[in-house]
């Protein structure tokens, strides 16, 4: 599939994976609707994409609000006459052991953006995607395939995204609309620095060791090729591709590997 002339909505496009994906697609001259809460950064990304050959419109939208999700889809149709691809990329994370959490509203806040933002954008985009026989893209996480300590709120929201899209894939099987689920691992973006701590406050620093993290550009490259091929799912990183097999054949080993994440996090906190 060529992206030339395709109308593509990308949420969370002001930086990180969303911005990298927009820049990756831009040379093929798609028509981009880029959404985020930070309009200043979003406009800069849109301008870069125009310089690379795309048409690009920046739309300030908080996907945690259904009205903003509807307005975003309406803008795509108003500007470009339809919609071909929806990339549900916007997200927020949280880092805290379950028993240490002081403000349990972080579960609601994380779910509001990660799950309900995806749900609402998909709800309003789907009639237009049916017309174009388009593509729904959900961005989950490897934590949406196996939980790790201190990420219960984030994992719950990403498992929910996976469950929703697995259902939609079957429901839409004969509609011409296809579903692609992307499972990134640790990617070098600002999402962890902007994540929530046990008190519901912005962390300001990553709770993970990020040596060897995948770049946003490499993540976007692999995502673009998966979208182009209309793949069912994309598991990023070699370790990530082992998760389904470990869950099936060595679940206790997978649990021990997940527990090792907590040990590395503790060591990281002691050294920072």
Q: What positions carry a catalytic annotation?
A: 154
Q: Are 197 and 95 in contact (CB under 8 A)?
A: yes
Please give the backbone phi and psi of residue 223, each rounded to the nearest 5 degrees, phi first.
-65, -45
Say how far apart CA 157 and CA 64 lie, in whole Å.
13
Q: Which ranges of 172-197 would DSSP assign to H, the alpha helix?
A: none
Q: Measured between alpha carbons, how far is 90 from 64 in angstroms, rounded to an integer?
A: 10
Sequence-distant (≥ 6) Cβ neighbours of residue 272 within 8 angstroms = 205
- Stated as kind and residue range, the H or E segment containing 56 is strand 55-60
Which pair of tokens denotes residue 119?
């749900």
| 178 contacts 172 by C-beta, under 8 angstroms | yes
As beta bridge partners, residue 42 has none
What is the distance between the alpha carbons of residues 86 and 73, in angstroms, rounded to a whole number?
A: 9
Rounded distance between C-alpha atoms, residue 63 and residue 75, angstroms: 14
Q: Identify the CA nearest to 52 among candidates 73, 75, 79, 34.
A: 34
């Amino acid at each position: 599939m060529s992206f030339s002339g395709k109308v593509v909505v990308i949420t969370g496009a002001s930086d990180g994976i969303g911005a990298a994906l927009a820049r990756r697609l831009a040379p093929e001259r798609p028509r981009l609707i880029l959404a985020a809460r930070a309009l200043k950064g979003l406009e800069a990304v849109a301008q870069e994409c125009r310089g690379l050959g795309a048409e690009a419109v920046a739309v300030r939208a908080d996907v945690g609000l259904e009205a903003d999700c509807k307005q975003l889809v309406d803008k795509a149709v108003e500007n470009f006459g339809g919609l071909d691809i929806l990339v549900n990329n916007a997200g927020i994370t949280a880092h805290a052991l379950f028993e240490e959490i002081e403000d349990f509203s972080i579960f609601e806040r994380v779910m509001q953006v990660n799950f309900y933002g995806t749900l609402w954008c998909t709800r309003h985009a789907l009639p237009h995607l049916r017309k174009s026989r388009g593509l729904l893209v959900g961005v989950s996480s490897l934590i949406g395939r196996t939980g790790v300590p201190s990420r219960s709120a984030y994992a719950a929201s990403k498992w929910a995204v996976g469950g929703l899209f697995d259902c939609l894939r079957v429901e839409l099987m004969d509609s011409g609309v296809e579903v692609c689920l992307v499972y990134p691992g640790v990617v070098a973006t600002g999402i962890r620095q902007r994540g929530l701590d046990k008190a519901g406050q912005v962390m300001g620093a990553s709770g993970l060791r990020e040596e060897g993290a995948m770049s946003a550009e490499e993540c976007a490259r692999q995502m673009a090729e998966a979208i182009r091929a209309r793949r069912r799912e994309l598991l990023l990183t070699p370790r990530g591709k082992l998760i389904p097999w470990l869950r099936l054949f060595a679940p206790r080993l997978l649990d021990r590997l997940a527990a090792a994440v907590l040990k590395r996090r503790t060591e990281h906190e002691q050294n920072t």
